[in-house]
Structures are given as C-alpha cells and as structure tokens.
C-alpha cells in the first residue's frame, strides 16, 4: 500500500504534448480512475507511472520515493494491460510465476504463491493450460493473478475490461472492485467508459488533451462539474447546456421534468419546449426537444423515469422546469464553473 | 446467381460455380509444375538407374550399378561430408548473426533505410556476380584482405594467405561467402518475426522484472522461434543444394576439398557427360529436402502461438 | 547518482549498437564498394602490388567500362536477360495469379495445404533437375536457345509466386468481393475487376521478385546455353570474362556492379511487402 504522486508531469512527443503538467496525488489504498476520451493522455500518464515512458519533465513519486528515472521492475508495481499481454508460449502457471522467477524466488515458494494468486481468482484448474485455450474472461483473471502474485504496492490497470463482451463486463467490474477492497492495494485504473469510472472509482480524474479537468469523487464530478467538458463527458445522455449572454447554464436530463412533477412551492426555473422525438427505453423515457422562446433555440433532452406518467408526443409543447438549485452555471468564454449559488 | 435485367454482362454458368472455377484457375499452374518439376524429377530417378550419357541415344536399365560406383568413389563421400559441414557451419553462423542483426535493426533510427539497403545487397545481387566480387577480394596476389593484414602487421610482408588455394582456408572462404549471401534474407525474416511480437508483451516482461538476458531467452527467442525455423529451413535448402558459390570460387578445389554434392553432380553429369552417375549423385540431395519439407509443415501447423 | 548511472549505460548501449551495425554493414556491403572502386581503376594501378589499393594511384578511368561494353558481349547478355525476364514474368503472372486467388478464396481447408505443397516444389533444387532437363531440352531442340530458359524458369517462379499471391489475396477483405457480386459481377468478374486492381501492389512485388529470380539464375543458364552470344548476364560474366589466367578485373567488377545495383534499388522498394506476403502465408 502506497501513495502515488505526479509532480507537474509532462510528456511531449514530436510536436504533440500528450500530458501537460499534471499534478496528481493518489491516496493509500485508493481506487483512482483516470477517465477521458481517446487521446487524452491517460494511457501515457499510466505508462509514465509504470516506467514504460520517461517524462519530458516532472517527477513520479511512489511510496514517497522519487522513481522517475527508475525502470519498471525497480518500482514494485504491477500492471494489467488492455490486451492482457499473457506470454503465449508459457502455461498459465508459468505466466503467473514469471515475475517471481525474475526476482529469484525459490521454487517451492513460487508454487505456493502461484496457487494462492490462482485461488483468489478461481483459476486453479487452468494452471496447465496455454493462454490461447482460455476465454477472454479467463485470460483477464490470469493477468490479474500475475499482477497480484508479487504483492506490489500499486496496481496499474489499462482498460482491462474493454475486451470483454458487455454481459461479462458488469460481472467482472463487480469482482474487480471486491478484490481491490479485499487487498486494499492502491489502484490506478484507466478507462474511457464513464459508467465504469463512476461505478469503480473512489475518486475520478477527468482528463482531456493532456490536462486534468477535475479530480473528485463520483458524486462530485457528476453533481458539481468543474467545467463544461466534465459536465458533458460524464452522464449519459449528457448535461443540457444553454448559452445566453456569455453564460452557459446547465442541467441534467433527469432534472428536467414536467412542472407538475415538482412540489408546488419548489423554486423552479421554467423552460418550455417543443418535443421532437421520444425514445422509450423501458425504465426511462428520453424526450428530445427544442426550447421555446424566450430561451435560446437550443436542443434539450429530458429523462423521464417510468414513475412520471405524463403523456408526451412529438410535436407537443410542454411546460418542463428545473429546480433552481440544480442549475449549474459556466463561463461562456472559458467553460469553467462559475462559483457562487445559482440565482 | 443470375444477372439482373439485361444490364449485367452475360457469362457462362460455369463461371459462377465456385468449385469449378477454383479448379479451373488452379489447373494451369499445377499442370505446369507437375510437368516441369514432377516429370524431370522422375526422370532423374530413372536416369540414376540407367546408363545415360550426354551422347547416348538409347537408355539401358542397369539397376543399382551407378550407386555402387559412387559409393566406391572417395570424392563422393568427400562431397557429402563437405556439403554437411558447409551447411551446418553456414547455418549456425547465419542464425546467430541474423538474430543479432535483426535485433539491432528492430528500433527505428536515423539512416535506417540506408543501412537496410546496404545490408540487403548480398542477397539481391545475382549470386554468381557477388561471388566474383569475392573472387577478387580473395585473389592470391591482389587480395585486399591480405593487404590489410599486412598493413596491420598481422602477417609478414612476404606472407600471403591463399584463401582459395589452401584446403582449410578454401572451406572457410566458401562458408564465409555463403554466410555473406544468406545473412540478409535471414535477417529480414527474423526481423519480421520480431516485429510481430506485440509491444505489450515486452512491456509486461519489463514490468514483471525481467532483465536483458531473461527477456531475450525466455520471451523474445521463444516467440521468434517459429520464424527463425523458417529462415533456417530456407538457409539449409539453399546451402545444401547450392553449387554456384563453389563453382565460381574454387570449382570444387583444391583437390575436391570444397567439392559438394551439387557441384560434383554438375561436373560429373554435365561437364563429364555421364548423366546417369550425375543423376545418382544429385538424388542424394533429396532426403534432405524431404526432411526440410516435414519440418516446414510442422512449423506451419504449430505456428499459432497467440 | 541514479541518473548518472543510467546515462552511462545508455551511452554504452548506443555505441555498441552503432558499432554492431557498422560492422555488419561493412561486412555485407564492402564487396560492392570494392567493386565500385575496382571498376574505375587503371589496370596498371590495380595490378601493381606495391600500390595502396584504397587509393586511386592513377586517376579514375572509364576504360574498363568501355572495354566491357565495346569488346565483350556484355550488352547482348543484358538484353538476353531482359528478354527472358519479361517473358518469364508474363508466364508466371498468367499462371500464378489465378492459382493464388483460387488457393486464397476457393479452396477451403485443403486449399491451405495445397498451397504449402505447391510452395514446397520451390525447394526442389535446380541441381537435381538440371540433369534430366539437359536431355529434355536437347530433345525439344531448344539447346542453346533463350526459349529453353523461358520454358524452364517458371518451374521455380510459379510455386513461389503462387504462395506469395495466396498471401496477398488473403488480405483483401471478402466484403469487397461480395459487394461486387451483389452488384452483379460473377465471382470471376469480381476477381478480375475488383481483387486484381486492389492487389496491384502485391502483384508488382511478385513481378519484381520474379525478375530478380530470373536475373540471379545460374545453374540452368550454364547447363542449357553454350554459345557466348546467347548467355544471360549471370552466366556470361563468370564463364566468359573469367577465363584463362588473365582476368580483366576492372571490367569484371564493373559488370557485376552494373547488374547488381538496379536490382538492389528496385528490390529495396518492395522488400517489406515481400516479407509480409511471405510470412503471412507461412505463419497463419
């Protein structure tokens, strides 16, 4: 268990800055998610933490040791790759044992450790198989076992669930979280899937174009986004944003409901609109529409839970509203959150 | 699948039948190969048990007489031994050097295209012409190597190494030239194999703590092995059956010390006119090819490592 | 302290790397450099044992090349080789393009095996077949004729090129052909009008490779051709120019260089594709 820290870490490739001066402090035992779209620098950042890339400037600190120039094996970390990177010519047993051989552990100790790691993920019966004989889920577990077996102080995970099919993914996500809680090892997890991030992370670092836009708990990044990028990246469907007079006002689809759904004395802001399209998803309905004047003619989305039974048809005009305290305000020029209570 | 309306071109029905089409497309090549490889091969077998010469009109069956004769011929055994030595020594060197060079070429660097061009030269140049270049370099009087050795005071000013005239040196020279011409191909093939290993695997090994040698011997080499075997296979076949390097450099001399099966077959059969004996000698190349073919098939089958 | 250690290691690794590459490049390329130097040296300079061979002790001269083109049949040999090359390329394409496609698309399981079998015939060396061939060729009356080579060369170009093309065609997505067939073409039509044009790079690679195989071939050329004006360049230079006791080294080296360099340049442009096609077929 260790803290992980980056100090103004930067990585520049030919003519392109992948990571631009990020300061990050990961607490002991924390499950931190690096979230962002492709190309935002999250994988580069992870690789610098692992020692697979050298930063152009800045420092990496693991367990209060400056490790910036140290090779991966001197950092006492373990990594799970998106492709799992299992050694195809070695059996599952030898795959898991590989890091232990590398440090010269005696044979019987290795056997014990491998069996312990394998039992943690329920793959004991697979030990003599080769990777190509395993399913995607089984391979993922072998990769995890290999990471765990050395008992490192930090786990680095690079989109380990993205190669699993959707059904498997939710189960795997659950198992992953439980296993991390059990071991209590500091974990840094990269993903572009914000549902995964929200589900797994103790805190989420939202990255875009090499910069960190916000670092906070899922509740914080969802309920109190630092700027319009975070506001629209997190949450599906994305937050509604309306620009007027250099101020961008935002509200989430599930906060945009028929006036009647709110209590009569609730302070709300009315935003009537015309319905364009309705998607009935079963548990919710998504209503797509365009705002009516005096609001700017912006497209908006409302998410109606099945408990709200108001009939909505395309072409109709409806009086929907948002609670005043649910409104978020952002600066029209910078996109940053405007401090202070909504008015 | 019928043509739509009158706009589509009208083709005979059989061009749609895939099975028929496949056979039709494949047939000319197969017929050609059967006629020009299969048939002459059978003929070679036939000649080896006959008394055919370049001048003779008819052919008589003579049983295994030719084979008995070559088994009594010390030059034949010498040729066989030389061929084996020549092949094993060349291939060992090619494999090791090729691996080293492939690893050196793995990463990108400035001027890589130039290095690659230079490295490929021995292979793209016609073998006979490249060998002539070496003939000049190894010339008894004007050898540049001798000149350099003298200039560096490794040998005396009147000493001369007759590279192609002294038995051990001749074999060494011939092996060196063969390595020279095969190294580019082996390197390129091994390099392709190296490039096919996903970077992730190297990263995982780095994170798992593998040092340079462990990484090389436990990860890289096992994963490149199938392709290295293919390169080895080609090398063995090209070397064991080759006569060009030896023909140009030594003509099999001095005194048959560099004679190999292929060159001996040539000198006996074509230059000497004794087709039957020549054919018999050359047939001894065949078992090796069968072994190589089997190896190749095994590799091709077991090649799925991922 | 750590940073310093890493830098020294990196420096050593890099110097070692450069040294290794230089050594190999020297070993492999030096003979050609030497051919270049020798080709332009005065013969008296070349044969003077006391001269430093690395220097041009007399000014460089084109005499050797003049002798080569003027007094020998070198030019004719080049023409012969090109003629044979073009014809062999045509025959090879005609046979192996359809065959490669058939193996890639139309043969299923046994297609791959058949492809390997065809490829293995490439391994049957000329040094087994040349003896029966010598009789076959004279029986056909093609002795000493360029046509003997045109007939026999495809026996090794076709197997290899079929294998290469099988690999190349396999990389063409099936969707494209199927789209063409939905649009009204037959399978054969899709092959001719869609797959072949898409694979033009692969086919070009095969053309280049066939040409180099033709230009390098020696054994059959030596066996079938007897008169000097009918030689191909790969055979003519060693047999005709290297005779007796006095070799015209300058011209000889010039000849070797003139033939090798264009092939090298051409080949270098295609070597990546060649290796890709070759290994796709093998390790798949």
Map chain C to HEC letters: CHHHHHHHHHHHHHHHHHHHHHHHHHHHHHHHHHHHHHHCCCHHHHCCCCCCCCCCCCCCCCHHHHHHHHHCCHHHHHHHHHHHHHHHHHHHHHHHHHHHHHHHHCCHHHHHHHHHHHHHHCCCCHHHHHHHHHHHHHHCCCCCCHHHHHHHCHHHHHHHHHHHHHHHHHCCCHHHHHHHHHCCCCHHHHHHHHHHHHCHHHHHHHHHHHHHHHHHCCHHHHHHCCCHHHCCHHHHHHHHHCCCCCCCHHHHHHHHHHHHHHHHHHHHHHHHHHHHHHHHHHCC
Co-location of A71 and A110 in the same domain: yes
Residue C10 CA from chain centroid, whole number: 39
- Do the Cβ atoms of B130 and C131 come within 8 Å? no
Out of A223, A252, A270, a domain closes at A223
Does A54 contact B at CB distance below 8 Å? no
Instruction: Name beta bridge partners: A32.
Output: A188, A203
Percent of chain A clearing pLDDT 70 (strictly above) = 99
B271 touches C: beta carbon within 8 Å? no
**Whether A70 contacts chain C with CB within 8 A:** yes
Phi, psi at residue A155, to the nearest 5°? -105, 135
A213 and A302 together in one domain: no
A317 assigned to some structural domain: yes
Per-residue pLDDT, averaged over B232-250, amounts to 88
Helix (H, G, I), strand (E, B) or coil at B150: helix
Contact B16 C278 (CB under 8 A): no
CB contact under 8 A, A70 and C3: no
Report residue B18's pLDDT band, with 50, 70 and 90 as the boundaries: confident
Q: Is residue A266 part of a domain?
A: yes
- Asked if residue A168 and residue A28 are part of one domain, the reply reads yes
Q: Which domains does chain B have, with CATH numbers?
A: 75-302 (1.10.3720.10)
Q: Which residues of A touch B222 (CB under 8 A)?
A: 89
What one-character DSSP code corresponds to residue B3?
A: P
- Chain C residues near residue B97 by CB distance under 8 angstroms: 24
pLDDT for the residue C27: 92
Test A99 with B208 for CB contact under 8 angstroms. yes
| pLDDT, position A192 | 93
- Where do the domains of chain C lie? 2-30, 72-282
Helix (H) or strand (E) holding A18: strand A16-26
What gap in Å lies between CA B33 and CA B75, rounded to an integer? 33
Q: Which partners does chain C have (≥3 C-beta pairs < 8 Å)? A: A, B
Q: What is the mean pLDDT of chain C?
A: 83
Average pLDDT, chain A: 91
Q: Does the structure show a pLDDT above 80 at C56?
A: no
In order of A234, B26, B72, B203, C65, the CA distances from B23 in angstroms are 58, 5, 48, 47, 52
Q: B225 touching C, CB under 8 A?
A: no
pLDDT greater than 90 at residue A27:
yes
Q: What is the nearest CA distance from C6 to chain A, expressed in angstroms?
A: 8
Distance CA C213, CA C232 (A): 13
A99 chain-B contacts, CB cut-off 8 A: 208-209
Helix (H) / strand (E) element for A291: namely strand A284-291
Q: Looking at the structure, do residues A244 and A103 belong to the same domain, yes or no?
A: no
The pLDDT of residue B12 is 57
CATH of the domain at A309: 2.40.50.140
Reading the block at residue B234, the tokens are 């080609």
**pTM for the complete prediction?**
0.82
- For C111-141, the pLDDT digits (tens) are 777 877 887 888 888 888 998 898 888 888 8
In the predicted model, what is the mean pLDDT of residues A69-95? 91
Q: Using an 8 Å CB-CB cutoff, list chain C residues near B121.
A: 28-29, 32, 260, 264
The residue in chain A having the minimum alpha-carbon distance to the alpha carbon of residue C6 is: A69
Task: Report the pLDDT value the prediction gives residue B208, as an integer from 0 to 100.
Answer: 92
* CATH code assigned at A37: 3.40.50.300
Q: How many CA atoms lie within 13 A of C207 on its CB side?
A: 13
Structure token pair of residue B158: 């009147």
Provide the residue range defining the domain that includes A17: 4-223
pLDDT, average across residues B232-258: 87
Within an 8 Å CB–CB cutoff, is residue A69 touching chain C?
Answer: yes
Nearest Cα residue to C121 out of C167, C156, C171: C156
Q: Which site among B209, B210, B221, B225 would you substitute to test the A interface, given the most A Cβ atoms closer than 10 Å to its Cβ?
A: B209
Q: Which of C49, C253, C263 sits opposite B141 (nearest CB)?
A: C49
**Which residues of C fall within a CB distance of 8 Å from B22?**
102, 105-107, 111
Q: Which residue, A192, A223, A254, sits at the end of a domain?
A: A223
User: pLDDT class for A203, splitting at 50, 70, 90?
Assistant: very high
Would the CB atoms of B306 and A132 count as touching at under 8 Å? Answer: yes
Structural domain includes residue A340: no
Distance from CA of A91 to the nearest CA of B (A): 12
Long-range contacts of A180-186 (CB under 8 A, 24+ apart): A180/A31, A180/A155, A183/A148, A184/A1, A184/A29, A185/A1, A185/A29, A185/A152, A185/A153, A185/A154, A185/A155, A186/A1, A186/A2, A186/A3, A186/A4, A186/A26, A186/A27, A186/A28, A186/A29, A186/A30, A186/A32, A186/A153, A186/A154, A186/A155
Q: Are residues C186 and B266, on separate chains, in Cβ contact within 8 Å?
A: no
Q: What percent of chain A lies above the pLDDT cut of 90?
A: 66
Q: Tokens 């198992």 sit at which residue?
A: A175
Q: How far apart are the first and last CA of chain A?
A: 45
* Shortest Cα–Cα distance, C43 to chain B (Å): 12
**Spatial contact of A117 and A182, defined as CB atoms under 8 Å apart:** no
Task: Examine residue A189 and state whether it is found in any structural domain, yes or no.
Answer: yes
Segment B189-195 shows an average pLDDT of 89
Q: Chain A contacts of B216, Cβ < 8 Å?
A: none
Contact B142, C47 (CB under 8 A): yes
Q: Report residue A202's pLDDT band, with 50, 70 and 90 as the boundaries.
A: very high
| Closest CA in chain C for residue A69 | C3
Of B224, B225, B230, residue with least CA distance to B292: B230
Straight-line distance from the first to the last Cα atom of chain B, in angstroms, rounded to the nearest whole number: 39
Strands (E), A154-272: 154-158, 186-191, 203-208, 211-216, 240-244, 247-251, 257-258, 268-270
- Predicted confidence at residue A263, as pLDDT, reads 87
- Closest Cβ opposite residue A102 in set B201, B208, B306: B208
What average pLDDT does range B25-53 have in this prediction?
A: 87
Look at residue A14 in the predicted model and tell me its pLDDT: 83
Q: Is residue A230 part of a domain?
A: no
The answer to whether residue C19 scores a pLDDT higher than 70 is yes
Give the fold, CATH level 3, of C72-282. MetI-like fold (1.10.3720)
| % residues pLDDT > 90 (chain B) | 23
The DSSP bridge pattern shows strands A77-80 and A257-258 to be unpaired
Same domain, A243 and A217: no
Distance from CA of B258 to the nearest CA of A (A): 42
Identify whether the C-beta of residue A231 lies closer than 8 Å to the C-beta of residue A63.
no
Report residue A16: phi and psi, to 5°.
-140, 130
Cis peptide before A81 (omega within 30 of 0): no
- Please tell me the distance in Å from C2's CA to the nearest CA on chain A: 7
Task: Name the residue with higher pLDDT: A114 or B25.
Answer: A114
For chain B, positions 149-168, list CB contacts with chain C under 8 A: none
User: What end-to-end distance do the CA atoms of chain C give, in Å?
Assistant: 48
Residues A112 and A118: their CA atoms lie apart, in Å, by: 10
Asked if residue A278 belongs to a domain, the reply is: yes
Is residue A196 over pLDDT 70? yes
| More reliable by pLDDT, A295 or B15 | A295
Say if the Cβ atoms of C99 and B266 lie within 8 Å: no
- Contact between A79 and B203 under an 8 Å Cβ cutoff? The reply is yes
B205-225 pLDDT, tens digit each:
999 988 889 999 999 999 988
Q: Which helix (H) or strand (E) holds A265?
A: none
User: Quick check: C128 and B244 CB within 8 A?
Assistant: no
How many CB atoms within 10 Å of residue C277? 27
Say yes or no for a CB contact (<8 Å) between A52 and B206: yes
How many helices (H) and strands (E) chain B has is answered by 15, 0
Q: Which of chain B's residues have a Cβ under 8 Å away from the Cβ of A86?
A: 204
**Are residues B206 and A73, on separate chains, in Cβ contact within 8 Å?**
yes
How many CA atoms lie within 13 Å of A243's alpha carbon, on the beta-carbon side? 7
What's the pLDDT at A340?
Answer: 58
Does C279 sit within 8 Å of B196, measured CB to CB?
yes
Nearest C-alpha in B relative to A156: B207
| Residues in B touching C215 (Cβ below 8 Å) | 126
Peptide bond into B290 cis (omega under 30): no
Bond prior to B143 in cis (omega within 30° of 0) = no
Q: What is the signed CA dihedral for A207, A212, A218, A220, rounded to 10 degrees?
A: -140
Q: For residue A74, what is the nearest residue in chain C, using CA coordinates?
A: C2
Instruction: Answer whether C159 sits within 8 Å of B33, measured CB to CB.
Output: yes
| Interface contact B248, partner C, CB < 8 A | yes
- Residue B303, pLDDT > 90, answer no
Which one of A51, A57, A69 would you mutate to disrupt binding with C, by most C Cβ within 10 Å of its Cβ? A69
Among A193, A223, A253, the domain-final residue is: A223
> What's the domain count of chain A?
2
Place of tokens 């008394």: B51
């Amino acid at each position: 268990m260790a803290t992980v820290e980056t100090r103004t870490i930067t990585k520049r490739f030919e003519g392109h800055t992948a990571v631009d001066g990020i300061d990050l402090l990961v607490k002991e035992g924390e499950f931190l998610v690096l979230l962002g779209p492709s190309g935002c620098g999250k994988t580069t950042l992870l690789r610098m933490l692992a020692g697979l890339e050298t930063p152009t400037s800045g420092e990496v600190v693991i367990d209060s040791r400056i490790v910036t120039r140290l090779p991966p094996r001197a950092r006492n970390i373990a990594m799970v790759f998106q492709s799992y990177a299992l050694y195809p010519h070695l059996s599952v047993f030898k795959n898991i044992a590989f890091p232990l051989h590398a440090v010269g552990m005696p044979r019987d100790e290795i056997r014990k450790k491998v069996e312990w790691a394998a039992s943690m993920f329920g793959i004991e019966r697979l030990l003599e198989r080769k990777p190509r004989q395993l399913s995607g889920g089984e391979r993922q577990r072998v990769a995890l076992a290999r990471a765990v077996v050395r008992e490192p102080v930090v786990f680095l995970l690079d989109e380990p669930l993205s190669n699993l099919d959707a059904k498997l993914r939710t189960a795997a996500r659950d198992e992953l979280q439980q296993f991390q809680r059990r071991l209590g090892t500091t974990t840094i997890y990269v993903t572009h899937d914000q549902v995964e991030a929200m589900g797994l992370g103790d805190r989420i670092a939202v990255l875009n174009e090499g910069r960190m836009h916000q670092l906070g708990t899922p509740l914080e990044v969802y309920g109190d986004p630092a700027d319009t990028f975070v506001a629209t990246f997190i949450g599906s469907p994305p937050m509604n944003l309306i620009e007027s007079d250099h101020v961008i006002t935002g509200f989430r689809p599930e906060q945009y409901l028929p006036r009647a759904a709110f209590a009569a004395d609730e302070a709300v802001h009315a935003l009537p609109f015309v319905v364009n399209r309705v998607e009935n998803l079963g548990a919710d309905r998504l209503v797509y529409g365009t705002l009516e004047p005096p609001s700017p003619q912006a497209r908006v989305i409302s998410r109606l839970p099945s408990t709200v039974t108001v009939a909505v048809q395309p072409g109709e005009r409806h009086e929907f509203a948002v609670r005043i305290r649910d409104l978020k305000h952002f600066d029209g020029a910078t996109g940053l959150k405007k401090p202070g209570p909504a008015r | 699948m019928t043509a739509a309306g009158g706009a589509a071109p009208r083709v005979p029905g059989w061009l749609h039948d895939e099975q028929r089409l496949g056979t039709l497309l494949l047939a000319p090549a197969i017929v050609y190969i059967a006629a020009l490889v299969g048939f002459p091969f059978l003929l070679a077998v036939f000649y080896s048990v006959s008394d055919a010469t370049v001048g003779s009109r008819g052919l008589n069956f003579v049983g295994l007489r030719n084979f008995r004769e070559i088994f009594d011929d010390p030059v034949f055994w010498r040729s066989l031994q030389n061929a084996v030595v020549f092949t094993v020594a060349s291939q060992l060197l090619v494999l090791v050097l090729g691996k080293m060079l492939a690893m050196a070429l793995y990463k990108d660097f400035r001027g890589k295209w130039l290095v690659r061009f230079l490295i490929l030269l021995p292979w793209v140049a016609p073998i006979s012409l490249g060998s002539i270049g070496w003939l000049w370099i190894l010339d008894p009087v004007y050898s540049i190597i001798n000149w350099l050795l003298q200039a560096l005071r490794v040998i005396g000013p009147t000493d001369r190494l007759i590279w192609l005239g002294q038995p051990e040196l001749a074999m060494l020279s011939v092996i060196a030239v063969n390595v020279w011409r095969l190294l580019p191909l082996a390197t390129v093939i091994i390099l392709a194999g190296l490039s096919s290993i996903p970077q992730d695997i190297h990263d995982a090994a780095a994170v798992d703590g593998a040092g340079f040698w462990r990484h090389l011997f436990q990860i890289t080499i096992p994963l490149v092995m199938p392709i290295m075997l293919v390169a080895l296979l080609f090398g063995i076949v090209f070397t064991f059956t080759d006569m060009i390097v030896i023909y140009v450099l030594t003509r099999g001399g001095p005194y048959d010390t560099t004679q190999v099966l292929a060159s001996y077959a040539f000198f006996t059969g074509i230059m000497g006119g004794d087709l039957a004996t020549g054919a018999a000698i050359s047939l001894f190349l065949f078992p090796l090819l069968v072994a190589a073919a089997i190896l190749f098939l095994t590799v091709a089958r077991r090649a799925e490592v991922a | 302290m750590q940073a310093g250690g890493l830098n020294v290691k990196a420096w050593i690794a890099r110097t070692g790397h450069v040294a290794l590459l230089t050594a190999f490049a020297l070993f492999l390329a030096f003979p050609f450099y030497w051919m270049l130097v020798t080709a332009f040296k005065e013969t008296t300079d070349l044969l003077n044992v006391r001269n430093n061979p690395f220097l041009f002790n007399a000014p460089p001269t084109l005499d050797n090349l003049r002798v080569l083109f003027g007094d020998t049949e070198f030019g004719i040999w080049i023409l012969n080789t090109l003629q044979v090359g073009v014809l062999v390329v045509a025959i090879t394409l005609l046979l192996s393009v359809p065959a490669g496609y058939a193996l890639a698309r139309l043969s299923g399981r046994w297609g791959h095996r058949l492809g390997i079998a065809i490829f293995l015939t490439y391994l049957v060396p000329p040094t087994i077949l040349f003896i029966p061939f010598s009789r076959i060729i004279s029986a056909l009356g093609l002795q000493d004729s360029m046509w003997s080579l045109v007939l026999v060369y495809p026996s090794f170009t076709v197997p290899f090129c079929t294998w290469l093309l099988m690999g190349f065609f396999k990389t063409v997505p099936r969707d494209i052909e199927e789209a063409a067939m939905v649009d009204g073409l037959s399978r054969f039509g899709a092959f001719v009008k869609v797959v072949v044009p898409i694979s033009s790079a692969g086919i070009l690679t095969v053309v280049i490779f066939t040409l180099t195989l033709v230009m390098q071939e020696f054994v059959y050329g030596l066996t079938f051709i007897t008169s000097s004006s009918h030689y191909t360049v790969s055979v003519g230079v060693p047999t005709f120019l290297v005779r007796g006791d006095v070799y015209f080294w300058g011209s000889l080296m010039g000849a070797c260089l003139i033939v090798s360099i264009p092939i090298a340049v051409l080949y270098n442009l295609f070597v990546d594709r060649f290796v890709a096609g070759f290994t796709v077929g093998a390790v798949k």
